[in-house]
Each structure stands twice: as structure tokens, then as C-alpha cells.
Amino acid sequence: MSRAAGSGPPRGGPAPCETEQTRPFLGEAAWQKRLRHVTFPDVREIDHEFLSLPLRVLADAALQRARDLGADHADFRLERVRGQRLVLADGSVESSGETDTLGFAVRVVHNGTWGFAAGTELTTDAAASVAARAVDVAKVASVLSSDHIELAPEPAHHDAVWVSSYEVDPFDVPVRDKTELLADWSRRLLADPRVNHVDASLLQAKEQKFYADTAGTVTTQQRVRLAPVVEAVSTSDGRLESMRTISPPVGRGYEYLPTVEAELAELPELLAAKAAAPSVEPGEYDLVIDPSNLWLTIHESIGHATELDRALGYEAAYAGTSFATPDGLGSLRYGSPIMNVTGDRTVEHGLSTIGYDDEGVATSSFELVTDGVLTGYQRDRRISRLTGHERSNGCAFADSPATMPIQRMANVSLAPDPRGPSTEELIRRVDDGIYVVGDRSWSIDMQRYNFQFTGQRFYRIRGGRVTGQLRDVAYQATTTDFWNSMTALGGPQTYVLGGAFNCGKGQPGQVAPVSHGCPSALFEKVRVLNTVREAGA
Amino acid sequence: MSGVHSPESKRSTVSQSLSAQAVTERVLELSRADDCMVLVTENSTANLRWAGNSLTTNGVTRGREVTVVSLVEGPEGTSVGTVSRSGLRDDQLEDLVRSAEAAAREAPPAEGAHPLLGPGTGAAQGVGGDWDAPPAATDIGVFSTFAPDLGTAFERSAKAGVKLYGYAEHSLNSTFFGSSTGVRLRHDQPTGTVDLNAKSADPGHSTWVGRATRDFADIDVEALEAELGRRIAWARTSVELPAGRYETLLPPEAVADLMIDLYWGMGARDAFEGRTALSAKRAGTRVGERLSPLPLRLRSNPAEPGLECAPFVLADSPGRRISAFDNGLPIRESEWISDGELSRLVQTHDSAVLTALPVTPDTDNLVLELPGATASLDDMVAGTERGLLVTCLWYIRVVDPRSMLLTGLTRDGVYLVEDGEVKGAVNNFRFNESPVGLLERVSEVGRTVPALSREMGDYFTRTAMPPMRVPDFNMSTVSRAS
């Protein structure tokens, strides 16, 4: 994951120790009133503005030029990517901006070598010239390439259209409405004397992708996503503490905002309780980890470790490799037998969810860890072919029209126990432990062995009951030790789809959104550090 | 790659015929807002990536991004609308300007608004370069010497049982800035980096070198390869060590990893609000306090030889660390730490008023030095009785902002030094350390040299750092990664 500003972690189940009823600031009727100017089409369609671009004409010009120049394969991808960022500090707009990127790329395989070029001028001449540049780059590169690039064949999808599941396109909502909402939230929190500062932000993105290749696939797709985050900060007595909402970023529209609003009322009390909490005694503890924290541990220790390009060394100089090498497929004991993990790009509202990937492959769901054993990898077409797979499992993604698709993460999710308990029941099973909620700091080594995470809030568990918050907690483990220490999974009622906007990989660096679903889960005897003592204080 | 020509991309005359300079003027003409700023960036990049002694991916890109910042005065203050677009046709410029104006009218007043700078009211003098010259572009030809040298290195490495992995990237950004207050400024920024990672089978080892460059003319592949070979030879002996506090030699690259985090934690407003390790205990900032017993100097200077960067503020929106309200403000040398004392923080005009400190804006380079220091890293190894020598750090994240506690890992080579010599390769560690704490405890600092951060090298490339000796670096746990 990149170091870009923290994205909102997922919403966990209500903390069992909170007595105060969580309630939204606005009722349903008020929300409907707010959205009264926005139309709700019955079926989402791709915006006419995008469809009216000369998509096919440019694709034909580029692909024909690539064929004429001897390319074995060529694909043309034209994208419009819109982003909007609103950042408020203490209720005032600190920063805001919109980005709108329109451009296209041509990728070729020419005599077994990749060539890639990108441009922005939407004319047939420019499209053909970018295709020629891609072939030129392949020729230059061939001198230094000993790998022979081949792609796993895929069925052609003619004129496929896909649109993600959302009600209100966030780009249809006036900026003033959004900033007023965030300012209103901020002022309500600032009205509490225990809150010194409030940071509020809303990131929104909309992707429109047109793809065509020399095998005849043509796809047109559109999806939106947003990440609302509110953080309350206390600096009283020269001590910094903060508490952030844990509603995750999602592949939904503006209709998602009330979910975040529902968390606000309890933030000041949660913050005050954290500021007054005792500092943790380092040692080994049983941990009940809420989905709002566990998603990120899954992301780092399973998501990245099961990327096949990584495991084969193609990211070795940058993001790193993986301890989960292909020789362990079918035998590596990743975790305890209750551990089942899938990669998936089809789940509704998932951030990695899409109909067809950036190589024209229909997306799917596939196993990564089955009954605790490594059983699969995330792949793109090239790596699939290289490793003897007949098909790709659809994990290619490029973050802009100017970047080359690489294997990026599917929504990698841990299955709940179908008859599993509630989070409260998991806590009741713990005599001496900590309940971890919300994500904060994260770090893992370049083979995905050794990790360290902190969180938003940590609750001391004694005799099966939560007794109050702790401060200064970090947990640290080796991936396989950690997942093998998992002794119980929560049921489907604890399951939450968390995620991030900002997973980084590749050179040149690319950023991808991805979701991770998981239940609450119980881990035995995990090493817990005191972060103040680690700093030598 | 000799004989390779760089394909000329002839700009089509259909959709983007206006030059960047003409776009700048056109946007300002179109503006109906009370004030307007425009930034036009012409960008070109070329990259090569390799793994296992073979090129894997590559690419060339060109693009133009136009950012319009519209300012609308209202009874409660100035509202700002910022819209950036790339892939824009000339006939869409008006739509872009109107979008920014609509965004400004929709926005509540912005924090920290103040009148825009003008040629006579604080903006940088001159235009920062030949305004009218067409922007230069890079292409795959920038690697015309580097690529064949790399090919030779692939062959040599294959024979030696070593696999090379890595990445080379070059970019040229020409940014044209114009404001309705009459400011015209241009900045051309070349940026280049190379990462070279070697993995040997016997002994099993992985090590890394990296360099920043403006044009690849100064990249000596053979010398980089030789340094990798020297470290692989060190790994013929391997030593397992437990977690703990060790005397540790940090090379300039690892010091860059940590000092960039310190620099990013130097925001004045954050410090003033009590949010960072540079906040005073009760109120205000720690400016004036001693951070290190050594007379260290941490500074930025746009004119630093080899590390040249923009000598004026160019921001696309208002913000906490850098703000579009300050666009055009000259950036001169700033000493963040002088003689071991915290002397300046990264400021906007607004935060400078808040903290009553000089306006020292965010600058795109960073130098740490101890005046008079002459020791090289090898000299410091020779002067070590027992300690660890680190290559670089990785996956560094802030754990606790108030102490600036960072966690991260050692990567691609940790070595045991005994009696002035490297004795073997050691396992990797997770560390928990604060750069502020390190400056307090550092016992020796060597001569400053250009150094590319491994962790931040794709965002912040222009750094010069010294090697450092820390008597008790906190290796918190062993990492099995190798």
C-alpha cells in the first residue's frame, strides 16, 4: 500500500462496550430532501458524454497501425478518470480540487516484446502514431529482453458493457452541498469541548474505460467510488490523541454518506476515553480483531503475498517478492484449517470490482487459501501463460490511460464461519486479551513475513468482558504464525467489506482501489508492543 | 541501443494546437472570476524495467495538464475553485475555466486566503527561464548509453550467477504559471532515478544501489554493479543476530529515508496545533530548541548544485503545507535545523502569520550536513569495533506522530562490522525509531553526498545526506525476509 493519506477503514460492528446509542444526525427524510435535485435513473448507464467520444474510430486506427507494423497482439484503452477531493480543517475548506484525465494507450506484443505508449490527442492520426511509438519502443526493448512475452488466450467479448452498482453519482452532487455537509459534521464535533480539531475529507472517483484489442474484444465500463473520513483530534495537556470514523471507502454513490454520519455522535466520547486510557503493558495477548482492522492485515499479509508476478520476482526490486512461492501451492500451511480466502472482482460495491479487466478478461472469483492451505494466485494474462494456466483470472489493472496494466489486487476476502458467533461471543471466549478496532499504521517486509499494525481503538478484555480502552498498542507477527494462531471466526453477521483507495505497486508507481471482506476473528498469543516504549520514551 | 532514433511525436494540429504558453494566456483571457491562476504542465516520461537479467516492461508517455484556480470574492471571504484536466482539447479550455469558476462560486470561503502576489508585490522576479522556448521532451533515447551498458551488465551477471532487477525512469516537466495579477513564471524540471537490485545464488543474497540523475549521463552502470558485487562478497559469511539495540551505521541512502520523513513532519501548522514531535509541550512550536548535540544543518535550496528544483511556489490548490495562495513566492535557501537547533518549519504565508515565523515554503530538495565532516561510510566502517551496517530501509510508516515514531524494515543487506571490517551478512530486522530521537542520539556524522532514498525515491529524489552512526538503533524484531 502506498503512503498516500490514510483512507477510511471499514465499518466494524458496534463496539460492545459502547452504551451510547449511535444515531445519525439526519433522518432518512432529511437525506431524501438533500438529494432532491438529483435524479435516480432506474438502470445506470454509461454517460453519453463518454460514449460520444470517437472511441471505436481511434481504436480502429491504432489497432490497424499496430497490425500493419507486425504486432502479434495490440490493445487500445481510452479512459476518462475523474477525481474530486475535498479537505476541511476545523470546518473550513483547507483544500479542494478536481482532476479530469482523458487519454489513451496502445500496448503491443511485437516479436515477443512488450511495447507501450500513451497519448492524449483524440485524433486518428495521433492514435496511429501512438501505436507506432509502442511498436518502436518494443523494438528498442527487444535488444535487452530475453523473456518471450505471450498472453493466455481469452474468449472475445464483443461490445460488452458494465456499470457498477450505485444510486447517486457523486459528481452529480453540487460541491457546495458536500462541503456544507462536511462543515456541519465538523462543527458538531468541535462543539464538544473534548475535541480540539476536526479533519474531514471526501475523496470521489469515477472511471470510464473503453477497451478494444486485436482479438475482437470491445468493452465499455463505468464505475464510481468514494472515501469519506472524519477524524477528531485532542491535544489537551500536550498529549495528542485522535479518533477516526471506521466506515470504509466503497464502490457506492453519494447515498453512502449517512453511514459515516451515523458514527459521528460517538467519536468525542471514544476520543476522550482513549485519551484517559492506560498505556498497554507489552506482552502476548489473545486478540479479537474487528473487520475494521483485520481488512488491512489481510491486504498486506495475504493480498500482496498471493500476487503471482510478485511471487515470481517481477516486483523484486521495488514492492518485493513473496514467501508464498509457487512450490508451496497445494502444500503451504498458510493458516489454521478454518482459514478460507478468495480473490474476487465481482462482489457488489467492491473497490476492485469490475466486469472486465484491463486486458479484456471477464472477472471472476477464485480460491487463494483453502482450509488453511495456499491454493491459488492472482494473475494477469502474461503471467497466466508463463505459468501454464489456460486462462487469466482477470487481475490486470492500469490506474490511468498513461500507465501500462499490471497485475493488481482482486478483492481478497476471508470467509466467515457460516454458523459463527457474534463479535461479543468471540470476546466472551477470551480471558486476557485485547479487542482491536479500526486501522491506523501498517508496515510489512518485502517478502510479506513480518508485519506491525496499530489501530483506532483497543479495548482490554478480562474474563470475557471488555473493561475499557488502552493506549499505545501495536501488534507484531510473522504472517504464517499469525494466521495459524486464528482459532475462531465470527459469523456472517460480523462480516464487513473494508478497503482502501490507495494501494501502491509497480514502477512507474500505480495506485489501485481494493476491498477486503472479513468477519471478526480470534487470534491467540500475539505479540503486543507499547509504541511509547518503542520510541524510547 | 545505439542506432535507435527517438520517434518524433508530431503534435496533431487538430485538437491541441495551442502551445502551453498560449494556453496560459488564453485561460487568463477567458476568466471572469475576480482573480485567476493557471498552471500548464507539459510532461514527458520514459522508463525501463527489468527482472532476472531481462527487460520486462517499458513505456513512453506525453501529456499536458492544465489547472485553473478561480477566486471569487464574497462577503465572508475568498472562495476558490480548482479544476485540473489532462487530455484537453483547445476548444474545451473555456469549459475548463467555467468549471473552475462554478466550483469557486459553490465553495465556502477558503481557509488562509490572501491577495495573490504580483510582479511588484512579492512574486519571484523574471520568468524562471526562457518563457517562449518550447518545452523540451524526453523519450526512450535518454537511455541510449545506459541501456547498452545495462545489457552488458545482464550478460556479466548471468555468467556470475547473479540476477539483476530494477527500474530506470526519466521525466521532464515544464510548468508555466500565469496569474491575473500579471505573474508569468516557468520552471523546467528534469528528474531521473535508477534502482539496481542484485540477487545472487551463491552466496544467497540480495542487495541494492540507487542513484538520482538529471539526464542519465552520469550513471555508471559498471561502478554500480561493482558495488553490488562487493556486498555480495561480504555475504559469503552469514550471521544470525537477535532483535535488540545495536550500534548501527546508516548509509546516506538510509539517512535520506528517515530525514525525508522528518521533513514531511515539519509542517508549521501541524506543529503549532500540537500534532507533531515539533510541537512545544504546552503551546506553540519547538523552533529554537536543540534537536541534536552535533551542530547539524538540515536545509533546502532550489539552487543546490545537482539538486536544482523550482525556485518559487507552484501549487495547484490551497493547502496546509503548500498553498496556491502563495504561488509565485520566491523560494530561497531555508535552514530547517541550524547548529543542531530547530530553526524553521515548512510554511505557507498563512501558517507563517500563525506561528510568527518567516515564510519558508516547502522545497523539493533536502540536504543534511555536519560542517567540516569528512568521513566516508568506509572510513566509519573502519572505525567501528562492533556494529551493524545497513543498506537501506523499507516500508516506513508513522506509528506515533507525537514522537514521530516510525516503523519499517531493513532491506537488501544488513552486515556485521567487527574490528573495522565487514564480517558477514546479517538477517533483516523490523525497526521502531524516530528521526527526532536519532538526531538526539547520533554519535558520528560523515561527509554529505548525493543519496537516493529507497523508500521515498519515487516521490522525493533530490537529497544529499551523510552517513550516520547511531549507538543504539532499535531493531525491534527479526524479519525472515531475505
Structure-block grid coordinates of residue B107: 465553495
Out of A95, A444, A531, name the one closest to residue B317 (CB): A95
Name residue, grid cell 530538495. B365
- The set of residues, in sequence order, having a beta carbon less than 8 Å from that of A49 and lying 6+ positions away, is none
As for the ipTM of the complex, it is: 0.91
Structure-block grid coordinates of residue B247: 550500534
pLDDT for the residue B5: 32
pLDDT for the residue A312: 94
| Type of residue at B384 | T
- DSSP one-letter string for A54-115: -HHHHHHHHHHHHHHTT-SEEEEEEEEEEEEEEEEETTEEEEEEEEEEEEEEEEEEETTEEE
| Domain-embedded: residue B224 | no
Distance CA A521, CA A525 (A): 13
Q: Which of B47, B258, B432, B478 to mutate to test the interface with A (most CBs of A within 10 A)?
A: B432
- DSSP one-letter string for A438-476: EEEEEEE-TTS-EEEEEEEEEEEEETTEEEEEEBSEEEE
- Does the structure show a pLDDT above 50 at B243? yes
CATH number, domain with residue A171: 3.30.2290.10
Please state which of the ranges A27-31, A262-266, B135-139, B236-240 shows the lowest mean pLDDT: A27-31
Range of the domain at B159: 20-213
Out of B55, B67, B206, name the one closest to residue A141 (CB): B55
Determine the average pLDDT of the residues in A81-87. 95
Determine the average pLDDT of the residues in B453-471. 96
Out of A100, A118, A441, name the one closest to residue B397 (CB): A441
Distance CA B308, CA A393 (A): 46
**Do residues B348 and B454 share a domain?**
yes
| Domain-embedded: residue A385 | no
| Domain-embedded: residue A95 | yes
* Three-class secondary structure of residue A388 per DSSP: coil
| Domain-embedded: residue B85 | yes
* Interval B299-318: pLDDT, tens: 999 999 999 999 999 999 99
pLDDT for the residue B10: 32
| Domain-embedded: residue B138 | yes
Nearest to A82 by CA among B41, B318, B83, B93: B83
pLDDT for the residue A469: 98
Q: In 10 A of CB B382, how many CB atoms? A: 13
| Domain-embedded: residue B345 | yes
**Nearest residue on chain B to A527, judged by CA atoms?**
B477
> Per the structure, how many domains does chain B have?
2
Structure-block grid coordinates of residue B203: 552466496
Interface check for B481 against chain A (CB to CB < 8 A): the answer is: yes
Structure-block grid coordinates of residue B110: 477558503
| Domain-embedded: residue A210 | yes
**Run of H or E residues at B329:** none
Please state which of the ranges A40-54, A308-322, A397-411, A461-475 shows the lowest mean pLDDT: A40-54
Please state which of the ranges A142-146, A353-357, B202-206, B252-256 shows the lowest mean pLDDT: A142-146
**Nearest residue on chain A to B318, judged by CA atoms?**
A95
- The set of residues, in sequence order, having a beta carbon less than 8 Å from that of A99 and lying 6+ positions away, is A81, A82, A83, A84, B83, B84, B85, B86
Determine the average pLDDT of the residues in A455-484. 98
* Three-class secondary structure of residue A140 per DSSP: helix
| Domain-embedded: residue A422 | no
Q: Which of residues 104-133 of B touch A (CB under 8 A)?
A: 106-112
Contacts of B90 in chain A (CB under 8 A): none
* Three-class secondary structure of residue A431 per DSSP: coil
**In which band, very low, low, confident or very high, does the pLDDT at A75 lie, cut at 50, 70 and 90?**
very high
Backbone φ, ψ for residue A313 (5° rounding)? 100, 5
**Do residues B245 and B166 share a domain?**
no
| Domain-embedded: residue A101 | yes
* Interval B216-240: pLDDT, tens: 999 999 999 999 999 999 999 999 9
Portion of chain A with pLDDT greater than 90, in percent: 87
pLDDT for the residue A36: 45
CATH number, domain with residue B139: 3.30.2290.10
- Does the structure show a pLDDT above 50 at B458? yes
| Domain-embedded: residue A139 | yes
Q: Which of residues 316-335 of B touch A (CB under 8 A)?
A: 316-320
Give the end of a domain, one of B178, B213, B248: B213
Out of B54, B274, B482, name the one closest to residue A146 (CB): B54
Distance CA A463, CA B371 (A): 59
Nearest to B189 by CA among B74, B309, B318: B309
**Do residues B43 and B144 share a domain?**
yes
* Three-class secondary structure of residue A203 per DSSP: strand
Q: In 10 A of CB B393, how many CB atoms? A: 26
> Per the structure, how many domains does chain A have?
1
| Domain-embedded: residue A471 | no
* Contact between chains at B10 and A129 (C-beta distance less than 8 A): yes
| Domain-embedded: residue B312 | yes
Out of B56, B275, B478, name the one closest to residue A235 (CB): B275
HEC secondary structure over B243-305: CEEEEEEECHHHHHHHHHHHHHCCEHHHHHCCCCCCECCCCCECCCCECCCCCCEEEECCCCC
Shortest alpha-carbon distance between residue A530 and chain B (Å):
11
Q: Which of B405, B453, B482 to mutate to test the interface with A (most CBs of A within 10 A)?
A: B405
Answer whether A262's CB lies under 8 Å from A188's CB: no
Cα torsion A27, A33, A39, A41: sign: positive
| Domain-embedded: residue B5 | no
* Interval A104-154: pLDDT, tens: 999 999 999 999 999 988 999 999 999 999 999 999 888 888 889 999 999
**Do residues B35 and B80 share a domain?**
yes
Range of the domain at A61: 30-265
Q: Classify residue B340 as left (phi > 0), alpha (psi -120 to 50) or beta.
A: left
Contacts of A180 in chain B (CB under 8 A): 108
**In which band, very low, low, confident or very high, does the pLDDT at B454 lie, cut at 50, 70 and 90?**
very high
Answer whether A436's CB lies under 8 Å from A289's CB: yes
* Interval B314-344: pLDDT, tens: 999 999 999 999 999 999 999 999 999 999 9
pLDDT for the residue B283: 86
**In which band, very low, low, confident or very high, does the pLDDT at B57 lie, cut at 50, 70 and 90?**
confident
* Interval A178-216: pLDDT, tens: 999 999 999 999 999 999 999 999 999 999 999 999 999
Cα torsion B385, B386, B390, B396: sign: negative
Hey, what's the torsion of the CAs at B371, B374, B378, B382, to 10 degrees?
Answer: -100
Answer whether B245's CB lies under 8 Å from B324's CB: no
Contacts of A137 in chain B (CB under 8 A): 58-60, 140
| Domain-embedded: residue B232 | no
| Domain-embedded: residue A175 | yes
| Domain-embedded: residue B12 | no
Contacts of A129 in chain B (CB under 8 A): 9-10
Winning range, highest mean pLDDT, from A38-42, A394-398, B54-58:
A394-398
Please state which of the ranges A60-64, A150-154, A440-444, B106-110 shows the lowest mean pLDDT: B106-110
